[in-house]
Structure 1
Amino acid sequence: MLRSSVVIIEPSSSGLDLIAAVARAGYHALVFSYDAADRVVPAAALRRWGAELVVLDTNDPAAVLQGASQAARSQQIVGVLPGFEFYVPVAAQLATHLGLPGLEPAAGQRVRDKHLMRRALEAAGIAGPRFRLISDTSELEAAAAQVGYPLVVKPTRSAGSIGVSLASCLDEVRAAYAAIAYEPTLDLGTRLGPDVLLEEFVPGPEYSVEGFVQHGRTAVVSITEKLVSDPPHFVELGHTVPASIEPATERQVVSWTAEVVRALGIDCTVFHLELRLRDGIPHVIELGARLPGDSIGSLIEMSRGVSLADLFVQLATGQQVDHPTVQSSCVAAIRFFYEPGLDIVNSAPTDSELHTLPNVVTGAVTVSPGDRPNGRADFRSRLGWVLMTGADRRSVDRSWKAVKETARFT
């Protein structure tokens, strides 16, 4: 009898949680990875959960399909999962090829390409910012005038707020476009440009909605409150579960989320929907048909008692998923150390010092003396993090204040 395996394509960040979730579900994890440069799966994660590594070019859909065909000779593939944002389309393509649950390939492209996403939402009448796509500097001035200032400049196919900035004049748009279009560094083997989206800036508090959709039925598991740095950049500084939000607004957001899901045509997946409330009306920032990053999944599991990774495995393997029982046992939060004025790190706390602080569950320092953390105006400029729990939001805020007073970066 062939063993039942679930393919995970290039797991990274929160996608690494899928390896454990596949093992917990009683399946064999078949991990597809390029296994070089910035596409390497930690060997310890593979060993711990008995996962099998298949080395191939995960940025080449033909290589992924061929790798799955070869693996299917010795095992039964029962599910396909994207391990990161970039691999949602190829996971959808492979699942369809194998006749397994998952996104339709066109939907996979819609949630990966922010311009396609904007067009689909606009066609469905979902509230969102004005936008224009540009692929050349000759289009900048006219497109910016149509969108209006201030506007947000962002790559169409990236993640982690990389390349995202606020521009208040044409010179700033030109500089932001150049930073994206001519960025020499590859991110997981891909470039940021040349396609760039200009969007109307949407003011207001920012949240994310985490949930899943199966057979057209949308279920919201949690709403996360987000902390973001001041413009011109949008560095995520923390997340809190559950969000402090009025019950009527929460009901509105839940109902609206189902409309967004239908407009994008996603199914058989978990999702991470980012939004801003402008004058009480939710506006889509973007939606990812994958696990949320920044340990939001861990916050939800600690606070709400639900594992999004386990749900994703169930969806991918065709199990009927009922709305999980959500039990709010505490407030869970992650906060990131961020010092935009720090040119060079001279001293930093240690991980062990973070772990001794009140209400800190875990944490890590991600810089060392001599580092210049602000060379990148995105998540890579963060200095470290702590994950905290408390009985309520106020206690978490007090804990974070105490952490900042004790754990200093100079």
Structure 2
Amino acid sequence: MLSLQIKEAKAREADGSLGAGGGGLSAAFGNMKLQRRNTLDMSSKPPTPTAEPRGFVDYLQDNERANRDYVEGVPRSLEQAIFTPPSRVGSFFAAESPMGSLPTGSLQSNFLSADTKFLPEPMLPAEREKKIREAKQTPTFELVRKVNKLQHLMHAATDKGQTLRRQLLSGAVVVIICAGYSGKRFIYERAKELGVRLVIIDGPDSWSQTLVEDGVIEKFMPLDMSDPGAVFHEAVKLLKEIDAESGGIDGICTFWEVAVPLVARLAESLGLPGNPSLAVDTARDKYLTRKALEEADLPTPSSCMIYCKEDIPKAASAVGFPAVIKPVNGAASLGVVKVSSMEDLTQAYAKVMDIMSTCSVSDPHGTSGQGGNAFITEVMMEQYLDGDEVDVDIILSDGAVTYAKVTDNLPTLEPWFNETGACTPSLLPESKQDELVETSSKMLRAVGLTTGVMHVELKYTTTNGPQLIEINGRMGGGPVRDMNLAVWGVDLVEEQLMASVGLPACPPLPEKPIKCLGQYSVNAKKSGTMGEAFEKTLEDLRKLPNVVSVDPFVKPGDKVVGVQDGMPTWIADITVEKETAEEALAYVQKLEAEMEQPIF
């Protein structure tokens, strides 16, 4: 929205003829044609070469952490990605053969590096504003100028306001950087329903190129990612090509964690809407986030960096026990361990460093033998937080909070902090929910995030109130989008697309929850191999009353890990609906407790 504000000011200087009067929606459009200039046919050029007949690259979809999607990691080996024939893309268990059938360079070519050191330095605020001022007006902004007299309606959190924003969004050209795994197809299908013209830039063998033939997106542009240092500059070239070919890009967006820093820098370089890259980097680094909160006088747990084993005594003295150690930029609770003494800390540090060298988000148990997140070498020790854990899903529009709802999380499985379930609407008192929303909003402001959908994880501690676990500068994964849509009628995908083109993201809200949901992420109770009876167990669950969905993360024959032996494997998600949130939570917990796990 900063770009929209700057361009509006610039436009007013050049053209003072646009009124600020009122008028109904139908009256305003009565004699007005909202014709975009970016309507050029992007299919006029020869089709982008595909990977046929060898197939397409996707994430290993029977890996529970890729599908759970609270975070997404980068496959570290060919064994952690899959070869998927075109006819099976999007199918849950789509893998036909390992990617060993593709060239050895395919992994590096197709998956973006998660290391931001290869990207340009973040722009300073003055430089960023200068870029925005110098950039040409996007087609969406030109439409906004045409309906300038409906500014109040365009910012209104009403059905009429949403109708206007959807009309302005329809036809927008939005470039998606890195499509993620094929389970994200629903995002791109929703964009198509909204009339958004999507172009996806991804690795040359990405599954997402099949979306062109399916009519979901308009164009796929391959980007070789084997040279991380060249990715940004090559992406800029592709964006300029798309801009010329389409008649104008309206926005750049991603729903994939690893691509968030790249997207922020690309948007900055072209003067397009988005979050400052400095804010994105701060939010993704847990230690920098804590420092930003301290400077803003916001609550944050005590923490200390551990750069090497010699720093352990200093960290223990600064933080005390009980505590948690975690990688500063890890994900999915990988390498997060609770410690209660100096002996625990010493042993856990060695264990975490081993995990970082042998495991990754895509391979949490280190079974591939291909190594882990080699770039994650810094560990942070942090005060252990007790109390209720929650998620706060927030929409920011020009820095203002236009939507914020609390979802209760069930206690995680310690010492691994594996998620177990959620309940929405929240059962916490309204006063606590208000405090959590207010604190989360201040935290986002402190790190500098201003635009789009955010997912903030906190604990409401027994002694110090709200305390941050982490900030995710993107839409939450897993059931987050579906739960917000079902309970509050707010489509986080739609609102992120609005924000990406510079439109206000101000969804209308119901006076009370539409539904009450309980969700459980079932963890393996012991290690072993999942038996054939697992499929019948899931089918029996689906037949029960008030069960909304039962989604498997493993299949018969898969190896699973129990909590006693390491980070436990998620085996399924169960979601139920009841008249009240209390009933939904009790019911889903009952189903999980009674669920048979045929592990041998």
Task: Write the deviation string for residues 183-232 of structure 1: whole angstroms up to 9, x where unpaired.
Answer: 23454795462011111001110011111112221233311101133321
For residue 288 of structure 1, the aligned residue among 472, 480, 499 is 472
Deviations, residues 236-274 of structure 1 (Å, cap 9, x unaligned): 111111111111112222222221121111011211111
Say yes or no: does 1:394 pair with 2:568. Answer: no
Distance 1:44 1:392, change over 3 A: farther
Which residue among 487, 500, 517 is the counterpart of 1:303?
A: 487
- Looking at structure 1, the residues matched to 204 and 408 of structure 2 have their Cα atoms a distance apart, in angstroms, of 35
TM-score normalised per structure 2? 0.63
* Structure 1 residue 9, shift from structure 2 partner: 2.4
Q: Is the 8 A contact 1:8 1:19 kept in 2?
A: no
Q: Which moved more, 1:55-64 or 1:121-130?
A: 55-64
AA in 2 matched with 1:237? T
1:253 to 418, 436, 444: 436
- TM-score after normalising by structure 1: 0.90
Q: Conserved in 1, the CA contact under 8 Å of 2:577 and 2:584?
A: yes
- Give distance in 1, aligned partners of 2:566 and 2:178: 25
- Cα deviation per residue 1:108-132 (whole Å; 9 max; x = unaligned)? 1011111111111111111111011
Name the count of aligned residue pairs: 406
State the SS of the aligned residue for 1:77. coil
Shift in alpha-carbon separation, 1:365–1:137, aligned structure 2, 3 A: same
- Residues 325-349 of structure 1 deviation map (CA, whole Å, 9 limit, x = unaligned): 2351111232111134344433424
Distance 2:415 2:327 in 1: 15
Query: How big is the alpha-carbon RMSD for the aligned residues of Structure 1 and Structure 2?
Result: 2.6
Residues 52/401 of structure 1: CA separation in 2 closer, same or farther (3 Å cut):
same
- Counterpart selection for 1:361 from 518, 543, 548: 548
Q: 1:209 aligns with which of 380, 392, 404?
A: 392
Cα distance, 1:180 vs. partner? 3.8
Residue number in structure 2 paired with 1:270: 453
1:336 match: 521
User: 1:120: which partner in 2?
Assistant: 292
Deviations along 1:255-311, one digit per CA (max 9) or x if unpaired, are 222211211110112111111011261111111110112211111100111011110
Give the match for residue 381 of structure 1. Answer: 569
Distance 2:222 2:348 in 1: 36
**Greater C-alpha Rg:** 2
Instruction: Specify the code of the residue in structure 2 equivalent to 1:55.
Output: P
CA deviation profile, 1:74-93 (whole Å, cap 9, x unmatched): 23321122322222211111
**Which is further off, 17-26 or 156-165?**
17-26
Q: Which has the higher strand share?
A: 1
Distance of 1:24 and 1:268 partners within structure 2: 23
Q: 8 Å contact 2:458–2:467 — kept in the other structure?
A: yes
The CA distance in 2 between the partners of 1:335 and 1:195, in whole Å, is 32
- 1:120-159 Cα shifts (integer Å, max 9, x gaps): 1111111111011122222222212211111111111122
- Structure 1 residue 168: Cα displacement: 1.7
Q: Tell me the equivalent position of 2:317.
A: 145
SS of the residue corresponding to residue 219 of structure 1 reads strand
Residue of structure 2 equivalent to 1:240: 423
Structure 2 residue ranges without an equivalent (≥5): 1-36, 40-171, 363-371
Which residue of the partner structure matches residue 53 of structure 1? 220
Match of 2:178 in 1: 10
Shift in CA distance, 130/335, structure 1 to aligned 2, threshold 3 Å? same
The corresponding residue for 1:26 is 195
Aligned partner of 2:383: which letter?
E
Equivalent residue of 2:509, what SS?
A: coil
Tell me the distance in 2 between the aligned counterparts of 1:381 and 1:51.
38
Q: 1:197 is matched by which residue type in structure 2?
A: M
1:345 aligned to which of 505, 530, 538? 530
Change (3 A) 1:405 1:273: closer
Take 1:287 and 1:158, find their aligned partners in 2: how far apart are those partners? 12
CA–CA separation in structure 1 for the residues paired with 2:380 and 2:282: 14
Q: Is the 8 A contact 2:174 2:199 kept in 1?
A: yes
Paired with 1:9 and 1:51, the residues of 2 have a C-alpha distance of: 14
The alpha carbon displacement at 1:324 in A equals 2.7
> What is the alpha-carbon distance in structure 2 between the residues aligned to residue 292 and residue 285 of structure 1?
14
Label 1:190 to 1:323 Cα distance change in 2 as closer, same or farther (>3 A). same
**In structure 2, the residue corresponding to 1:228 is in which secondary structure?**
coil
The one-character-per-residue Cα deviations of 1:350-399 (angstroms, maximum 9, x if unpaired) are 44333212212222222234433217855x61111112222112331343
Quote the residue 2:73 is aligned against: none
Tell me how far apart the structure 2 counterparts of residues 296 and 284 of structure 1 sit (CA, whole Å): 19
Letter in 1 for 2:544: L
Partner of residue 66 from structure 1, selected from 227, 234, 244: 234
Q: Distance in 2 between matches of 1:57 and 1:391?
A: 51
Distance 1:172 1:269, change over 3 A: same
The one-letter code matched in structure 2 to 1:263 is A
Asked if 1:184 is matched to 2:184, the reply is no
The Cα of 1:51 is off from its aligned counterpart by: 5.3
Give the direction of change, closer, same or farther, for the CA distance of 1:198–1:11 in structure 2 (3 Å limit): farther
Give the match's secondary structure for 1:318.
coil
* In structure 1, distance between residues paired with 2:239 and 2:268: 16
Distance of 1:96 and 1:77 partners within structure 2: 14
Decide whether the 8 Å contact of 1:112 with 1:288 is kept in 2: yes
Bigger drift between 64-73 and 163-172 goes to: 64-73
For residue 287 of structure 2, give the secondary structure of its aligned residue in structure 1.
helix
Q: Given residue 10 of structure 1, which amino acid in structure 2 is its aligned partner? A: C
Letter in 2 for 1:6: V
